[in-house]
Amino acid sequence: MRYWSLLLVLGCDTGVKTGASLPGEGKACDAGRCFSGLVCSHENVCEAPGAVGTALDGDDCSATEECAFGLECASNNQCSEADAAGTGGSGDKCVDDDNCQAGFTCEDGACLDLEIPFWNGGDCPADAAADDEFRVLYQIPDLPTTESLDFFAMPFPNDLRLDGEGKPVLDGFPSPGEEAPAVDRLLGFVSGQTGWGLDPVVYFRFNKPHDLDSIKVLTTDATVHFASIDVDAADYGNLSSFEFFTRQSRDRYVCQNWLAVTTYGGRSLLPNHTYAVWLTKGITSGGAEVFRDDDFPLLMQDDRPSDLTDAKAFDKFAPFREYVDGEGLTRGDIVAATVFTTGDPARDLRYTREVVEAETTTVSIVELGSCGASPCDRACIGASGLAEQHALVAIPDFTTESGIVSYDDTFRPEVQGSEQVCAVMTIPNGDAPPSGWPVALWRGDLGGDAQDAVRNGVAEAFAAEGVATLSIDLPHHGARNGGDDALASWFATESPGAWRGNLYQTFADGQTLERLAADPQLGLDPEEVWVVGEGVGGDSAITLLAWAKELRGGVVGNPGGLVGQLASSRRQPYDVGHALERSFADSNLSRYHPLVALLQQWLGPFDPAASAEAMVREPATIAKHVVIVDGVDDAELSADSRHAVLRAASLPTAGDVLDDYAQATTTYPVSENVTTDDGKRTAASVQVQAGHHALSESAAEQAAAFVGSGSGGSSPTLKK
């Protein structure tokens, strides 16, 4: 799949007037006019083209302040004449965001300023002259440095930017500073990680505009290549799928003439592996062939350079030179490359289990009550076919006062104390089996609480199949620091550490619930524990199914992958996309934005797409029985986000296919259809004509029947 952005300016003279008597550079414009060759800027001052506030009609923009006098940055992020479509300002009538200029949202029928901080962006050099050589930029910086850099003039990510401990060195990364402090916070957190993410966005820059049709991938004459270069790696060799985006205009973080390459959704890279992305001859500018920049040949020669910085860079590229020679490629055909080594984002998930198991004082039932004497702050709902019970439970709290998770010297998360939360359990009417009730750990979505399974009918459906449910409030939900700003506290865009802390605590809570299910006071069967969840609860259910040891399986509704990309575009039930635009001081966010890419790396351990394969196909602990309910009319998740998890899980769709993403299919009934090293497992996805809460609204009975059919240690069967 190919994406590109093309800027064409044909005969535009907006704000440019001739005449020897007109104002010169730095002077106030004369009714929007300036001396020949100058532009009347947004501030009504004559400036040279390319200065801030001189973008012309049709030029890319992120805010109206970037456009020339009389123009506004429209909703399509292009400068347009005032009153053109998509240029509504504060108070102007609107139907949706497309009616309002960039940086505004449509709320209650009127355009509302999101108050995105205005930042000029990093300093960018001018394009090379028309008669200069066309080059892929490759400028190796002396690190560490406090100097301002054209950060992406060296391809990024790059192992040349890893320190002696393997941690990213992001010196010189463009930042608005105090105007948007969340940027520096995110950079600081990523700098503390080891290695690069599993879904990186790789950037190259050119010294002048490139011919778009010369960027070719996955063809015999490809000019862009992506490969695993670890000889012993399971995925060694060229990747069979990846995506790219190219843009010739600058934005606030990346200077002009850039190319971005990234993984295909649901095809994450392997942890602790080395990869390379490289460009070869055939890329052109106005038909002229591309040349290497001065620093790159040093990395591809046989002799180690004498300069210390160059020598260290040369050493980092040894795996790539070996790959090139081993594959019979011609070094001289390669005009630029980056080599990067992924980290191990799942380390947190592996270690959490042992930390929770070691907690003897912070995992306990404080008080178990009935509806008549609930120890919680709520009354029972009164569903049929079941008894609802409440308990006050003590669980380990892994987050500090600022919401982040801290680690000891062995990288284990540190427990900060104990937190008492309300647990809700539903028990089917009738006599319990001798070994106790099978139980589904319910993981609800944003905006709900521990009683959601009772409220939405899921508990009733499971009770009909002889299965209990057990759940607690998510962080910042229900009585657990909920309130009017609960969703803003969950999507903590101003504090990326707290955002990740929420995801971590939610995952840890799942491990704690699994342990609580074994408490004999509850009367549950510890050998028959399943997990069922939807929305963000489904996201955490994916990671639980991958990393928890005792779960038999589960049902997950509409999990969303590519968490960074999803956050930048998500508008419901909380407008996290606009919150991110404010936090990053940029209204033009996408998967290819460098801060979105770094956010993906930071939140990556809790991306369900990263763990989906480990549920069944490549189990991290033991293979589980799994069903994913896919509501194809989801208005909260993009199709790319849904598909990323589904592709990663690689489960066949049972029954009708409502959304074809080239998946395998199977027919009902489904049982033991996947063979694993742990034996045969039942695993499939189900598509329904429903939205984000498809599991609870349209598939609760089907999910309950699946879990119920597996009670007693038998393999479950998925029926229509």
Contact by Cβ (8 Å): 196, 161 = no
Mean pLDDT computed over 447-452? 92
Least confident range from 251-265, 292-306, 561-575: namely: 561-575
**Alpha carbons 523 and 525: distance in angstroms, whole number:** 7
The torsion angles phi and psi of 161, rounded to 5 degrees, stand at -105, 25
Say what percent of the chain tops pLDDT 90.
77
Model pLDDT, residue 6: 34
Please determine, for residue 442, whether its predicted confidence score (pLDDT) is greater than 80.
Answer: yes
Closest by alpha carbon to 636, among 687, 567, 539? 567
The strand pairing partners of 169, in sequence order, are: none
At 333-365, the pLDDT tens digits run 999 999 999 999 998 888 888 888 887 666 778
Mean pLDDT computed over 480-488? 79
At 499-530, the pLDDT tens digits run 999 999 999 999 999 999 999 999 999 999 99
**Alpha carbons 384 and 389: distance in angstroms, whole number:** 14
Model pLDDT, residue 362: 66
Q: DSSP assignment, residue 118?
A: P
At 295-316, the pLDDT tens digits run 999 999 999 999 988 999 999 9
Q: Residue 137 has which token pair?
A: 């930029």
Please determine, for residue 8, whether its predicted confidence score (pLDDT) is greater than 90.
Answer: no
The confidence band for 223, taking pLDDT boundaries of 50, 70 and 90, is very high
Model pLDDT, residue 361: 60
CATH class for the region spanning 428-483+495-558+607-713: alpha beta
Please determine, for residue 459, whether its predicted confidence score (pLDDT) is greater than 50.
Answer: yes
Burial 370-404 (b: 16+ CB within 10 A, else e): eeeebbbeeebeebeebebbbbbbbbbbbbeeebb
Domain boundaries, the chain: 1-113, 135-341, 428-483+495-558+607-713
Please determine, for residue 4, whether its predicted confidence score (pLDDT) is greater than 70.
Answer: no
Q: How many residues does the chain have?
A: 720
Q: Residue 324 has which token pair?
A: 């090139």
Mean pLDDT computed over 215-244? 93
Q: Say which residues have a Cβ less than 8 Å from residue 360's Cβ, sequence separation at least 6.
A: none
Please determine, for residue 655, whether its predicted confidence score (pLDDT) is greater than 90.
Answer: yes
Mean pLDDT of the chain: 92
At 374-394, the pLDDT tens digits run 888 888 998 999 999 999 999
Alpha-carbon Rg for the chain, nearest whole angstrom, is: 28
Mean pLDDT computed over 5-27? 54
- Tell me: cis bond preceding 669? Omega within 30 of 0 counts: yes
Model pLDDT, residue 239: 87
Model pLDDT, residue 582: 94
**Alpha carbons 486 and 222: distance in angstroms, whole number:** 48
The confidence band for 147, taking pLDDT boundaries of 50, 70 and 90, is confident
The confidence band for 20, taking pLDDT boundaries of 50, 70 and 90, is low
Mean pLDDT computed over 277-283? 98
The confidence band for 486, taking pLDDT boundaries of 50, 70 and 90, is confident
The confidence band for 373, taking pLDDT boundaries of 50, 70 and 90, is confident
The confidence band for 7, taking pLDDT boundaries of 50, 70 and 90, is very low
The strand pairing partners of 337, in sequence order, are: 278
**Count of other CB atoms within 10 angstroms of residue 707:** 27
Please determine, for residue 688, whether its predicted confidence score (pLDDT) is greater than 90.
Answer: yes
Please determine, for residue 404, whether its predicted confidence score (pLDDT) is greater than 80.
Answer: yes
**Alpha carbons 686 and 684: distance in angstroms, whole number:** 7
Please determine, for residue 419, whether its predicted confidence score (pLDDT) is greater than 60.
Answer: yes
At 23-54, the pLDDT tens digits run 999 899 988 899 988 999 998 999 999 888 99
Please determine, for residue 289, whether its predicted confidence score (pLDDT) is greater than 90.
Answer: yes
Q: Please report how the helices 576-584 and 594-603 are oriented relative to each other, as an axis angle in degrees rounded to 10.
A: 120
